[in-house]
Amino acid sequence: MKTLSAINFIVAAIFVACCCYQAVYCAVRLLGRRWEAQAARLCKYGVLICARNESAVIAQLIESIKAQSYPGELLDIFVAADNCTDDTAQIARAHGATVYERQNKLQVGKGYALRFLLGRVYEDYGPQAFDGFFVFDADNLLDPHYIEEMNKVFSSGAKAVTSYRNTKNFGDNWITAGYGLWFLRESEYMNRPRDMLGVSCAVSGTGFLFSPELIEKSGGWDYFLLTEDLEFTADLIARGEKIAYCGSAVLYDEQPRSFRQSIIQRSRWVKGYLQVVAKHGPSLVRTMVSSGSFACYDTLMTTIPACVLTLCSIAVNTGMFVLGMLGARGEMGVFFQSVLSAVVNSYLLMFVMGLMPLITEWKRIYCPTRKKICAAFTYPLFVFSFGLAMAIAVFGNVQWKPIQHTVAVSIGDFPKKN
């Protein structure tokens, strides 16, 4: 059983060695000076929304787009009503969006819907009609200055920009709070310092903007894995492109409330991560070696170590437990001591990782104080539950499935900035 302690120590040491650079990111976020972009010009944008049975929330998103401080004549809203069986298409049209309906039961997923939507927009408006395209999910809400702020970064020369991702139902339970802190950390403690250091950021599902030029270089939208956002990110970084970050552009989205739905979603994420590494890992390594791209290393380190090392740790600890029960019960005390030490250390690390964005983003998290405090203590449990999602991703049959959205709130329901 002493071997187990050594193995757990080695696994932890490898993980720290792979990801210790993120401590530099934290320092840069807390101590670095932020660069504020100024708009070079007002660009013409197409807003792309892929929606599948989103009648409960699609209207609020479109309303938040139409309420933007950015000139409305420079925004066109396009919705792909993808395999819908409800009145999503009718509601979107009634609120002023151009809607294209798609029925395809074989090519299922957001990546296919985006390719379809871009294709229809190009057919009807031409490839040069828009300077850039925004991508949102139907459950999103935009701060009134969102597009104005994103335009500042985009018009200053960025070809792709991602934004600040907040949560509109943070206070529902420990699961939604876990998601909320996860995305706040990703926005402010990963993407912001990356941008400040000149390293490419990562797109996180929704709330991003890209130039048509980037897609034309790859022959159209060609990202169909379970995590099309990460595939898009990995492909751009492997090609030497840089994704910028705009922390002043705030987007709110809805997070799953049930544990079952959360595990289904996160197992899809993990499976998608592994797919991306299998498809784009070699090109990321080649670019990293040939050009010394730290962005490639960063991308690989945020996907591989967590998945592989967690599964290795679970497998080793489970195997040693079985062996101990079968033939070395006298040493089980060492086993439990090793496991307890690993769990406590991991809990404390995750607690700090969740506490930092909780403190710095406190005023931007809209829920009662007691729920914010509780979120700091339950965040490590949320992260630990990724272990179950990883196991399902590796050993289960993971496919894309839509997440039901029901939190029908408007942007006006959030407190206004002073």
Alpha-carbon distance of 121 to 134, in angstroms, equals: 13
Is 234 in the same domain as 318?
no
Is 248 in the same domain as 342?
no
Burial label for 397, CB within 10 Å (0-12, 13-18, 19+), is exposed
Is 68 in the same domain as 131?
yes
Is 138 in the same domain as 224?
yes
Is 103 in the same domain as 183?
yes
| Edge-to-edge strand list for the sheet holding 132-137 | 98-102, 75-82, 45-51, 132-137, 208-210, 160-167, 244-253, 141-142
- Averaged pLDDT for residues 304-321: 61
Is 113 in the same domain as 246?
yes
- Percentage of the residues of the chain whose pLDDT score is greater than 70: 86
Q: What is the pLDDT of residues 99-137, one digit of tens each?
A: 999 999 899 999 999 999 999 999 999 888 999 999 999
Is 10 in the same domain as 126?
no
Domain count, the chain: 2
**What spatial distance separates the first Cα and last Cα of the chain, rounded to whole Å?**
58
**pLDDT of amino acid 323:** 56
Q: What is the pLDDT of residues 40-72, one digit of tens each?
A: 899 999 999 999 999 999 999 999 999 999 999
pLDDT at 353 > cutoff 70:
yes
Is 103 in the same domain as 244?
yes
